[in-house]
Amino acid sequence: MIRVGLLGAGMIGQVHADAYATLPDVEVVSVAGLGAERAARLAEALGATPTIDIMAAAADPRVDVVDVCLPTALHQQATEVAARAGKDVICEKPLALTLEAGRRMIGVCRTARVHLLPAMVVRFFPQYQALAGAVRDGAIGTPASCTLVRQGFYPSGSGGWYRDESRSGGIFLDLMIHDFDWALARFGPAERVFAQLRHAGSVPFTQGMATVRHRSGVLTQLTGTWGHPGPFTTRIEVAGTGGLLQYDSRDSESLELLVLAAPEDAGDVPLPNLATTDNPYRTELLHFFEVISGHAAASVTAEDSLRALALALCAREAARTGRPMAVPSEAA
């Protein structure tokens, strides 16, 4: 039995809690929240102990694994406290607010010989996994360009922390980090990024756009929106020398493959096993426990997360200055 201390009783803490309730040989023994009422409610549902003492919960001797689902500004401290107490750590994205903080987290966990596993859940969405596999297997020939879109309502969080860039890192670090990570994993190191940021002062609306040139020659265009009406949606399109792959969460759970110079009977080919009810958060956490138990190698690492953070920070700076930016080594 693996015993988990869940830090954070907000939306993502609830999502993780729902996944834990379905996992075998995993018990959530404590829930630490920034608000007592929320922590108590979530702890009761799990049969766990509630607390508002976050750092004491991170070092709880009853716990084997600490799951950090706190506002980003608290990631470093909670991770380091847990690691020094000998706990393996699962940490929600983004890893940290700065490269220095991310490096320190990795270093402390390495010194303590505990795992630091970043919750980059898009890696575990079946559509994105299938698309990555199709690109890797040459379904569209040599990739040339990729478009990634991620949009939803403007989040608030406890005390409105999402809207405070000093606590959340803003849209490039918080929302778009998933697509920066996916693009780096699929198309390799980035060498240059140009970005723009738009705020609408009268309403809660923020949109970030970034263009990334990879060393492989692939161009990735990313757009993230906070303030989009309707349900949360994502879109992705990858164009190559032999065809086009595309997925739109608004239309279907399937992935379309359009092939150049295809036979007459070839049309839109759905890839198998994509219409699924599998919870990617559950898949992610199950994988992490296999890693912690020594039964698997991590498919996404803290170093991967640091590279995505470096690229996101570079995009944010490019948007601030209005100039293209060379990408630092962590994203290369």
Question: Would you list the domain boundaries of the chain?
Answer: 2-119, 123-276+308-331
CA distance 91 to 85: 16
**Cβ atoms of residues 101 and 306 within 8 Å:** no
Residue 330's pLDDT band, with cuts at 50, 70 and 90, is low
**312 torsion bin: left (phi>0), alpha (psi -120 to 50), beta (else):** alpha
User: What's the pLDDT score for residue 253?
Assistant: 60
User: Across residues 129-136, what is the average pLDDT?
Assistant: 96
pLDDT, residue 40, reads: 98
In b/e form, how buried is each residue of 68-105, taking b as 16+ CB within 10 angstroms?
bbbbbbbbbbbbbbbbebebbbbbbbbbbbebebbbeb
- Place 257 in a pLDDT band, splitting at 50, 70 and 90: confident
Tokens found for residue 207:
């949109």
Q: Is the pLDDT of residue 329 over 80?
A: no
More confident residue, 117 or 204: 117
Where residue 277 falls among pLDDT bands split at 50, 70, 90?
low
Parallel, antiparallel, or unpaired for β 256-259 and 2-7? unpaired
CA distances from 245 to 125, 139, 204, 299 (A): 16, 8, 33, 23
Distance CA 99, CA 110 (A): 16
pTM of the predicted model as reported, rounded to 2 decimal places? 0.93
d(CA 220, CA 243): 16
The reported pLDDT for the residue numbered 143 is 98
Q: Which of 225, 226, 119 is nearest to 163 (CA)?
A: 226
Assign 273 a pLDDT band (cuts: 50, 70, 90).
very low
Structure tokens at 242: 């032999």
Token couple for 26: 């995993």
Radius of gyration of the chain (CA): 20
Percentage of the chain exceeding pLDDT 90: 84
Residue 45 banded pLDDT, cuts 50, 70, 90: very high
b/e sequence 16-45, b meaning 16+ C-beta within 10 Å = bbebbeeeeebbbbbbbbbeeebbbebbee
Judge whether residue 125 has pLDDT over 90. Answer: yes
Q: What is the mean pLDDT of residues 3-21?
A: 96
Predicted local confidence at residue 230, as pLDDT:
80
The 10s digit of each residue's pLDDT in 53-108 is: 999 999 999 999 999 999 999 999 999 999 999 999 999 999 999 999 999 999 99
Q: Does pLDDT of 4 surpass 50?
A: yes
Higher pLDDT: 331 or 265? It is 331
Question: What mean pLDDT is predicted for residues 18-47?
Answer: 96
Kindly give, in sequence order, each residue whose CB lies less than 8 Å from that of residue 242, ignoring residues fewer than 6 positions away.
Answer: 138, 139, 140, 141, 142, 259, 260, 261
Return d(Cα 28, Cα 5) in angstroms, integer.
Answer: 6
Evaluate whether the domain defined by 123-276+308-331 bears CATH number 3.30.360.10: yes
Query: Does residue 238 have a pLDDT over 80?
Result: yes
Confidence at 260, pLDDT banded by 50, 70, 90: low
Could you tell me the pLDDT band of residue 197, with boundaries at 50, 70 and 90? very high
pLDDT at site 228 = 81
10 to each of 21, 55, 69, how far by Cα in Å? 16, 17, 8
| Mean pLDDT value across residues 311-322 | 97
- As a whole number, mean pLDDT of residues 99-121 equals 98
Helix-then-strand count for the chain, H and E: 11, 14
Domain 2-119 has what CATH class?
A: alpha beta
Alpha-carbon dihedral of residues 98, 75, 331, 285, nearest 10 degrees? -170
Establish whether domains 2-119 and 123-276+308-331 are of one fold.
no
